[in-house]
């Protein structure tokens, strides 16, 4: 349920089905048959396999490291997956009972809302965010938004949200006192923002333990690129796309915003913060190689006011209340449900007591 505000809905480009193919999860258990029924509605083995593949994709990048015991991972993870799928079936049945619906237009509006919240947090424009996606080799923003609007996870989230807003409205109310208390508690850590800069760079890779001739070649290449970048009318972004050896190259070298400490290596951060907006550095050497840095924006340290923080705080507190309401609903539904567990992978979930067939 903790979906709101997360980039998963917008930036996740690898679906569970891709992970399913990569890790070969079906090799350790049959992907046919059912592992459980919930009030007569089956949970298939294939649903468990897809969910397991998604976990592997998220946690391990879709690859099982050499020596890692896939069977041991399954034994640990699958019972929790089955428990979660049982909860989802119970909630689907509850949503159907309450006749709650959602339209594609409303789902798209929610994705746009999530994107707007992310842009506000990061200080990026829509165009800048799209440039970052391009730099990571992701699909176009419009394609991603459409894909995420059609994601089953979002639909489930929105249907359950509507159900709870309909049946537990009082429990989801966020008071002014709660907002002020949260703001005070998070003032120094969340709402006090350090100074940040936005920069682009061109990287010529070179490790400090490379042979001297190789390092000299990399250094000469960086000097040549710098000379081109200093020419009148030079397009820094185009030069980055053509010559940079860093992952930001496809996006014109754009690194987005970062603070003085904690995000970049010290030599790079010091050089970037010493620049004026529009100014370009000389050759900056770090453990990654030789950089040419161009500063594009600066933001002063500032404190977000209570008025500006009220919206995000309200959303966060409401989301937390929503999680609590969902747990209460599921606990109640489990007491009255007929849950039948079967199959080699299935174990008794910790969240309830399955009934015998």
Residues ≥6 apart with Cβ < 8 Å to 134: 140, 250, 251
Which residues in the chain show pLDDT less than 50?
Answer: 3, 5-29, 348-357
Q: What's residue 2's pLDDT? A: 52
In whole angstroms, what is the distance from residue 303 CA to residue 183 CA?
11
Residues ≥6 apart with Cβ < 8 Å to 101: 159
Residue 154 DSSP label: H
DSSP calls for 325-340? HHHHHHHHHHHH--EE
The answer as to CATH 3.10.50.40 being correct for domain 194-302 is yes
In whole angstroms, what is the distance from residue 268 CA to residue 11 CA?
27
Task: Give buried/exposed letters for 230-245 (b at 16+ CB in 10 A, else e).
Answer: eeeeeebbebbbebbe
In whole angstroms, what is the distance from residue 123 CA to residue 117 CA?
10
**Residues counted in the chain:** 357
In whole angstroms, what is the distance from residue 12 CA to residue 46 CA?
22
DSSP-based three-state secondary structure for 258: strand
Determine whether 199 is exposed, middle or buried from the number of CB atoms within 10 Å of its CB (0-12, 13-18, 19+): buried
Going from N- to C-terminal start, the domains of the chain cover 8-179+309-341, 194-302
Closest CA to 310 of 192, 126, 133, 180: 180
Q: What's residue 343's pLDDT? A: 61
In whole angstroms, what is the distance from residue 277 CA to residue 284 CA?
17
The string of pLDDT tens digits covering residues 40-79 is 999 999 999 999 888 888 777 666 677 777 788 888 899 9
Q: What's residue 55's pLDDT? A: 84
Question: What's the distance, Cα to Cα, between the start and end of the chain in Å?
Answer: 30
Q: Which pairing describes strands 289-299 and 280-286: parallel, antiparallel, or unpaired? A: antiparallel
Beta bridge partners of residue 204, listed in sequence order:
290
Are 113 and 6 a contacting pair, CB within 8 Å?
no
Q: What's residue 61's pLDDT? A: 66
**CATH for 8-179+309-341 (1.10.4030.10, 3.90.45.10, 3.30.750.24, 1.20.1250.20):** 1.10.4030.10
């Amino acid at each position: 349920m903790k979906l709101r505000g997360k980039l998963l809905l917008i930036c996740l480009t690898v679906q569970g089905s891709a992970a399913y193919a990569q890790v070969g999860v079906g090799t350790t258990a049959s992907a046919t048959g059912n592992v459980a029924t919930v009030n007569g509605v089956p949970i298939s083995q294939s649903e468990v396999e897809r969910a397991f593949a998604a976990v592997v994709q998220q946690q391990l990048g879709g690859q099982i490291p050499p020596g890692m015991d896939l069977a041991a991972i399954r034994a640990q993870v699958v019972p929790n997956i089955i428990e979660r799928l049982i909860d989802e079936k119970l909630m689907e049945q509850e949503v159907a009972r309450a006749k709650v619906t959602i339209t594609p237009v409303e789902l798209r509006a929610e994705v746009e809302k999530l994107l707007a919240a992310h842009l506000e947090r990061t200080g990026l424009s829509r165009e800048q965010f799209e440039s970052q996606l391009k730099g990571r080799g992701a699909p176009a923003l419009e394609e991603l938004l459409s894909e995420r609007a059609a994601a089953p996870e979002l639909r489930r989230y929105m249907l359950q949200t509507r159900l709870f807003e309909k049946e537990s409205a009082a429990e989801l109310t966020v008071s002014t006192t709660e907002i002020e208390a949260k703001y005070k508690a998070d003032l120094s850590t969340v709402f006090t923002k350090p100074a940040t800069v936005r920069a682009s760079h061109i990287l010529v890779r070179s490790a400090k333990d490379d042979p001297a001739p190789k390092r000299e070649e990399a250094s000469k290449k960086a000097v040549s690129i710098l000379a081109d970048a200093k020419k009148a009318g030079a397009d820094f972004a185009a030069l980055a796309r053509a010559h940079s050896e860093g992952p930001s190259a496809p996006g014109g070298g754009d690194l987005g915003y970062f603070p003085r400490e904690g995000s970049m290596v010290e030599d790079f951060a010091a050089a970037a913060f010493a620049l004026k907006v529009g100014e370009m550095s000389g050759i900056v050497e770090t453990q990654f190689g030789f950089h040419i840095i161009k500063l594009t924006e600066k933001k002063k340290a500032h404190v977000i006011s209570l008025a500006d923080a009220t919206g995000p705080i309200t959303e966060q507190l409401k989301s937390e209340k929503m999680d609590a309401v969902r747990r209460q609903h599921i606990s109640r539904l489990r007491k009255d449900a007929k849950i039948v567990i079967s199959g080699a992978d299935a174990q008794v979930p910790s969240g309830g007591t399955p009934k015998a067939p």
